[in-house]
Structure formats: structure tokens, C-alpha cells
Structure 1
Amino acid sequence: MAGKTSWFVRLLEEYRGWVILFFCLPASFVFDLCLKASNWIRRSTSSPQLHDKRVRKIQDEVREWNEQPESAKQPMCTSRPNWLSLSTTFFQKSKCHKIGVMLFDILKLDEEKMTVKVEPLVSVGEITSYLVPKGYTLAVTLEIADATCGGLALAVGMTTYSHKVGLYQESVVSYDIILGNGDLVHVTKDNEHKDLFYCLPWSHGTLGFLVAVELKIVPVKPFVHLKYIPVNGQNNYCNEIRKLSGALDKDADTPDYLETMVFSKNEAVILVGNFSDVTTDEQRNKINHVSKWYKPWFYKHVETFLRRGGGEEFIPLQDYLLRHNRSIFWVVEAMIPFGNHPMFRYLFGWLNPPKPAFLKFTTTPGVRAMTFTKQVFQDIVLPMTVLEKSINLAEELFDTYPILIYPCRIYNHGDNKGQLRQPRADQMCPDANYGMFYDLGVYGVPGKVKRKESYNVVETMRTMEQFIRDNGGYSFLYADIFMTREEFEVMFDLTLYRQCRKTYKADGAFPDLYDKIRPEIDVFKVGKKYAEKS
């Protein structure tokens, strides 16, 4: 039986693209239609005025939990299914007491304060569709439409505007949180709960239930004027990234949007975008709706500018903001190698992307154990001082391109101000209160796996994690980590977090952060098993 199973798995791997085309994509499409129908019904009965009533119901459920005997209590978590989250892990909610936090409404747009207040399950796609026609967008807008505003607020987010404003947490004005005892608190950086304000980002729901978040918005124009700048030579494109991001001069005239795709160690395309109107025929002829289903995947389109010698386009803002959504950056290529072929795009491109929720919904423990050893999906925050070193190490460890680079400010808020350790003195920008860091996005199938060579994911990732710790960086915690608890506490500062756990009644009421985000499978055991099979 084991031999037959192994043969069947190899067959699925060999013809994965066709399996996904004829089964996964149609099933995912139907699955998505059901979700959209559910969302349409929900939106048509939207009732922001009932927000307070819904919050009181959640408070009542938490207080009922508190009335249980101590011996019967399990830590609380939301009842939202694992498969709806974008995390690569499957937190074991069966071991928790689940509370229904079904909050989906946009509550208030305040154009005078330049903020929008939303319930936590409002998605990036929904808030973008709401704000852009009004001439605004979130200060930090993720490229994946299914991400939720609340999930990002309690985790982390970064985008191509982050070199101006920093991480997602810097765009949060306030949080409304239900504590472990059922109390509702309004949290800002200036009120009596300012310690909690700094600890909620990166807490992943382990300090309380988020019921509303107020976010900064920025004024926009209908288009992004995007310039594609190909650069040869690693030192050349790294230095250009530092210059354009403002890492060398805080008063530099930086673009509205900035990202880089590295296609080999010595080849990159830098994308420089600015808000724009389109008023002339010449500009109209350069409009590109990059998110249309028949268009080339965005990163493939970008790659063409290596040989075209650069260029410029005007991209409708909403298309730009969700430009990586159809190909989930370049993850879909690993699933459907022929997915960018013109014939596929015109005939089946409207089925893309496979819904992340569907992929998680259909992931069995066996598939989970196998796939995490054969692919990499990591976002890593590092200081600009090690940009070249990190690209070289990523090539050595993963041997997969493109690599994504988003510059981002990391502010120095002082000691013990949340889980992020503050930038070191040599990482700070001159005369600024922040250091310029960047997201190193490595996604895809490692070269050794493609060549069917031995690949030990545990050794590889632990080497990268050691590099991150040594250089004062951070791993995004939606992805698998390979650190022990002790190593995790070297990367992150849990001093204030532990104090807040006690002060705000989270101990015993919610899972511990490390327990919440660590992989649900034994990565060391599974990694060794599949490395030996390679």
C-alpha cells in the first residue's frame, strides 16, 4: 500500500499543473462563488449601527467562559476556520474554546481625520473597493485581496508605500479590544492603554479579541505612473534601492511606491510609482490594466523590461494595488507551470488565482507535511546594511528567483515598545527616528527540489533564521518558523508582551504567542524524513 501511495503522490507531483487545471481551479472557482454569495448576502444586510450590540454579545461569551471551573477552561480563540486565514500553519483550534467574532462591516470614514474605522474581518479587497472611488486608500495596502484588516493589525503588513510610512502597525490609530475578562477597552498610543497599543501588532490574537480598528488613509489619484528601471550589477541595483527609498537621506524626494524584483544575482528591475492623472492621448495610450485575467502575470510583465531597456505605464490605482493577486506573487507558477502561456490566460485565466482558502481547506496533514519540505514561502525583514549579503544567502540556500524587495521604515519607539526590537544604532537613517529596512520575499520551489536533489528544509531555514537574528531582523510569523522558543525570544523582545499578558488578563485566557504561531507539525521530524527520501 505504501508503494502504491508513493507512486500516486509522484504521479500527482509530475502532472500537478493538469490536476490543478482540471480539478482545483474549477473547484476553487465554485468555492469562491459560494464565498462571494455569502459575502453579498452579508453586505446586503450590513448593519454598522448594530456594531455595539454585536460586541456586547462577544463580551457575554467571554464572561461565560470566565464562569467555568478552572479545570474546564481552555484558552480562547476565534471560531473563524483555519482555512480562511492566510497563514501557512494550521493552529489547532480544537484545543481551544472558540468564540464567534463575526464582524465584517466598514464602520466610519472620517475625511477630516483621514481615517477609516472597520471591523476586523473587512478584507483588503473590500476596503480598497470602498476607498479608491472616494479618492483614498489605506496607507498600507497589501497586494492580496483576501487578507483582512484585523488580521494585519494583529500580525504585520508591508507594502510598496512602506518606505514612507513603515509597517502596517504605523498606520493604526486605535484598536477596540475585548480582554480576557470580557472588558472592552479602546487602545491608542496616548491613553492609559498605550502599553497594549505597542504590543498588539505581532501578537496574533494572543492578547484579546479585536472588534474594531481605526486606520490611516492617504489621498490618491486615479492612476499610478509606473516606471520600470532595469539595472545590471548587484551593487548598482542595491545602491539605487537605498537612494530611492531615502535610506541615505531622510529628506530625499522619494516616490509614492517603490519595489524591486531581482531576477538573478546581477539583474533586477526597480519599479518607481507615483500617483497620477491621465489627461493626454499619449498618456491614455500607455494605460495598462494589469489585473485583467488575460494579461501576463505581473512579475512576468516586469521581467520583459530587462531586455526592453525600461519603460513606463499608467496603471489604474486598484489594478496596481492588487497587481500580484492573480499569480499570488509567483506562487501560482509552481502549481501551474504553463499558467502564463497566452492560450491558458485567454481560455482559463479568469479562473486564477486558486483561492488560498480553498487550498488550505483541501490540505490534508499528509499533503501539508510533504509540501512544506518542497517549497519556500518567507517574508523576512532586514536592515538595508545587509541587502547584498541577504540576496547572496537566499541564492545559496533557496536557489529560486525572482526575489521581492520592499523598502520599509522601522521606527525606533524606544526600549520595550512591543515585540519588535528597535533598530540598532548603525541601522538608523541619518538624523531620523527610523532605520530603513526591507522585506526580502522568497517564494517558490527551491532549485534543489526542482533538480530532485537532497534538500533539508530545516537546516536551510535555520541557517536563514540565524542570519536574521544576527543582523537584527524579523521573520513574518504567518509563515513556518524553525526556531526554538529560546531562539524566538532572541529575535523578538517579549518583555512588554509578558507584562501585558498579566495586566490585561490574557494569561490562561489566550494562547501564548510562540505556541500560537509555531507550526502544528513537528518540522524537525518531518524535515529529516523527507530529506532522507530525497
Structure 2
Amino acid sequence: MTTYEDLVAATLAHGLMPYVVPQLKTITIGGAVTGLGIESTSFKHGLPHESVLEMEILTGDGRIVIARPDNEHAALFDAFPNSYGTLGYALRLKIELLPVKPYVKLRHVRFDDAEQAFAALVKECANESNDFVDGTVFSRDEIYLTLAEFTDEAPATSDYTGMDIYYRSLQTRQTDYLTVSDYLWRWDTDWFWCSRAFGVQNKFVRALWPRRYRRSDTYHKIVAFDRKHRLTDRVRKARGQQAEEPVVQDVEVPVGHAAEFLDFFHREVGITPVWLCPLRLRGSKTWPLYPLEPESLYVNFGFWSSVSLKPGMSVGYYNRLIEDEVTSLGGHKSLYSTVHYGREEFWRLYHGDAYAPIKAAYDPAGRLPDLYTKCTNAK
């Protein structure tokens, strides 16, 4: 339950950081390992679980075991990522850390064509001078790649925890400097761009909104309250407006199909902005419950909003449409949000044949729900 906010504060004091730091402060390291985490170092250092050396796990059958890639619990070690707590609970993790410099220099490069942008992405991910690579899509003809590197000095540093908004800076600045800490949390103040739903990007509202509450966890609590009491749905219904479907997903698509997926997404869904994050497995090792091809470059597309349903559509239409497209392009989706796969399709995509014997070995009585049941709320 250690948050990355606390972990990063402790490690930066020693000139170190985790190899991959997910974008939001209150994500926990246990959550990023048993689920999935990603960030702009993932093109070089993979996913958070790839820098884990040892796991102490409370299993479903009540044991506490030490799992390493070279001991009798190696199968549990390999299957724990993307198991979402259905095999056990991480009590302690031993991880590798990355040496850092005090500052990060950013370059924002604009493209007006997706094919050009993804071709450049491939090139930049092979450029050893880049320590961080991600991107942002504002429209079909406004795409930015942000290329960043550690540096010992900075002429001045920006602050995006106050009145300035980080994602808007991509459109107005070609270069920027941040402290390492501010770079790692550059997306958190506005929950990427989702703070606009609460009016926090309005300069008058922002000035009155206390800085300590300009955080992703604050916005998440507001969203949870709204969904629990269906306030937005009731207001839309009272106004005679069409119902909306939440479309909150992160999906990984092979880079060779990235432009094709983005064209589909613009045409069929239409949410903007969209976050781009390249990733590649750190080594040749594969992870059974999230089968990515070693040496292959993928692009994570992150989109978090709602889409109005047309007459006759039911909730789930857009999410299912995205799932089908991702599968057809050889990609995968993270399981933290709504999942609409049928049972057979789900276990085919997430390697049920590898999961079943490990589940039987560490939770034979089924005290914990299985992965399909937990992620789909199946009965």
C-alpha cells in the first residue's frame, strides 16, 4: 500500500527513482505490480513488475511465501502481474532503482499526421539520449511527442501545480525544464486533462481551488461520489439529454497498427485528448497473464471520458467496440476499468491455461475471486 508519491519522495532523497513511476501520486506499488503500470520510461524499462526482484505474498490459501524468479514460487512470481489480487496480496516488494539527475529537459515536437508521428516515435524510442518518451493527441492533425532527458542544470523550471496547466504547455512551448519530482507528477495536478470536468481549468475556479486539493485523488473521490449517487445521469435525464457511456481505458497496440487504431478511435469514439505512451518489455522474459511480444514496441493509448449514446445504443457499446478493435490489431487492454469480454474470449486473451494451475496451487478453495470474475463482475 506504499504510494508512489511516498516512494518517490524517499528514493529521490538518495538520487534514485523506481524504473517506472505511474502518472498519479496515489497509485500504490503493489497495485502497479498486481495490476499494470506504465509511464514515459516504459519504452526503455518496460512495466513496473519488470524491476521487481522479490515478492512477499499472502496467498489465497493463507500462506506467506517469498516469490522470486529462481525459486520454488517462480510460477507465482511470473503470474502475479495482471492478476489483480486474485492470487494473493503483496506484503513486501524488493525492487531495483534508477539513478537520476536533478532536472528533466523536455522537447515538444508537433506532427500533423499520425503516420509521421508514429514513425518518429519508433525512431525516438531507439535514440539512447532520450530518457522519457510520451505523446498527446489533440486532434487528427495536432499530435505532440514529448522527448525528455535527465540534466544536471536548468536555466529555469516550470511549475504546473499552480495556475499553469501542463498539457496546455505542449501547444505553446517547444522546450521546458522541470525538476525530476515535478516531471514525474506533471500529469497529477490536472489528472491529465480530466480536471476540466470540475471547472478547475477555469482561471477563476482554479484560483479559489486550494492547491493541496488540485490532485488526482481529490478528483477521483468526486467522480466516485457522482457515480454512486448518479448525479450527472439524473441531471442529464432531467434536461432531456442523451445518456452517456463512460469510456475509461488504457490499451496497448503494436506500433505498426498504431495509426490504424487512432484513425478508428477518431472515427468511432471521438474522445480527445488521448495520451500516447510507448512501451517495450525490458528483456526477453514474457509474463503469462499479459502476453506482450519481447522486443516489440507497443503504444499505450489512454482515454478517459464519456461518449453520448445514440438512440438504440446500450451502455457498453463503445467499450466493446474498442475491445474488438484492439484484439483485431493484436493488442491488449488493461483490466482496471470496465471489461466486456465473454468468458471464453477473456481466458484466451489473458492465458487462462497458464492462470488455472497457479490459482489451484495458491488458492485451491477459491477464497479470492478468479481474474475473470473480478474484472467483469461476473456471477
After superposition, the Cα gap between the structure-2 partners of 1:466 and 1:303, relative to the gap in structure 1 and judged at 3 Å, is same
Q: Matches of 1:233 and 1:157 in 2, distance apart?
A: 28
Higher helix share: 1
**Tell me, which stretches of 5 or more residues in structure 1 are unaligned?**
1-120, 247-251, 306-310, 424-432, 523-534
In the alignment, is residue 392 of structure 1 matched against residue 255 of structure 2? no
Equivalent residues of 1:123, 1:147 under 8 A apart: yes
SS state at 2:76 partner:
helix
In the alignment, is residue 421 of structure 1 matched against residue 291 of structure 2? yes
What residue identity is the alignment partner of 1:518?
Answer: T
User: Percent identity among equivalent residues?
Assistant: 22
Name the structure 2 match of 1:195: 75
**Tell me, which stretches of 5 or more residues in structure 2 are unaligned?**
235-242
What residue identity is the alignment partner of 1:312?
Answer: T
Name the structure 2 match of 1:253: 128
Given candidates 80, 88, 94, the residue that maps to 1:208 is: 88
SS state at 1:218 partner:
strand
Question: What aligned pairs does 1:67-466 form with structure 2 within 5 A after superposition?
Answer: 121-246=1-126, 252-278=127-153, 283-284=154-155, 286-290=156-160, 292-295=161-164, 297-305=165-173, 311-336=174-199, 339-348=200-209, 350=211, 351-353=213-215, 355-356=218-219, 358-359=221-222, 362-363=225-226, 365=228, 367=230, 370=233, 373-410=244-281, 412-413=284-285, 417-423=287-293, 433-446=294-307, 448=308, 456-466=314-324
SS state at 2:297 partner:
strand
Equivalent residues of 2:5, 2:26 under 8 A apart: yes
SS state at 2:38 partner:
coil
Name the structure 2 match of 1:90: none
Q: Matches of 1:370 and 1:501 in 2, distance apart?
A: 39
After superposition, the Cα gap between the structure-2 partners of 1:216 and 1:352, relative to the gap in structure 1 and judged at 3 Å, is same
What is the number of equivalent residue pairs in this alignment?
368
Equivalent residues of 1:472, 1:491 under 8 A apart: no
Equivalent residues of 1:164, 1:409 under 8 A apart: yes
After superposition, the Cα gap between the structure-2 partners of 1:506 and 1:208, relative to the gap in structure 1 and judged at 3 Å, is farther
Compute the RMSD of aligned alpha carbons: 2.4
Q: CA deviation at 1:457?
A: 4.2
After superposition, the Cα gap between the structure-2 partners of 1:218 and 1:453, relative to the gap in structure 1 and judged at 3 Å, is farther
Name the structure 1 match of 2:327: 469
After superposition, the Cα gap between the structure-2 partners of 1:422 and 1:317, relative to the gap in structure 1 and judged at 3 Å, is closer
Q: Matches of 1:507 and 1:227 in 2, distance apart?
A: 53
Q: CA deviation at 1:219?
A: 0.4
Equivalent residues of 2:55, 2:92 under 8 A apart: yes
In the alignment, is residue 495 of structure 1 matched against residue 353 of structure 2? yes
Is the radius of gyration larger for structure 1 or structure 2?
1
SS state at 1:191 partner:
coil
Q: Matches of 1:390 and 1:470 in 2, distance apart?
A: 10
Q: TM-score, normalised by structure 2?
A: 0.90
Equivalent residues of 1:179, 1:506 under 8 A apart: no
Q: Matches of 2:59 and 2:198 in 1, distance apart?
A: 41
Q: CA deviation at 1:159?
A: 0.5
After superposition, the Cα gap between the structure-2 partners of 1:442 and 1:489, relative to the gap in structure 1 and judged at 3 Å, is same
What residue identity is the alignment partner of 1:419?
Answer: L
Q: CA deviation at 1:361?
A: 5.4
Q: TM-score, normalised by structure 1?
A: 0.65
Q: Matches of 1:129 and 1:361 in 2, distance apart?
A: 27
After superposition, the Cα gap between the structure-2 partners of 1:357 and 1:231, relative to the gap in structure 1 and judged at 3 Å, is closer
Equivalent residues of 2:247, 2:319 under 8 A apart: no
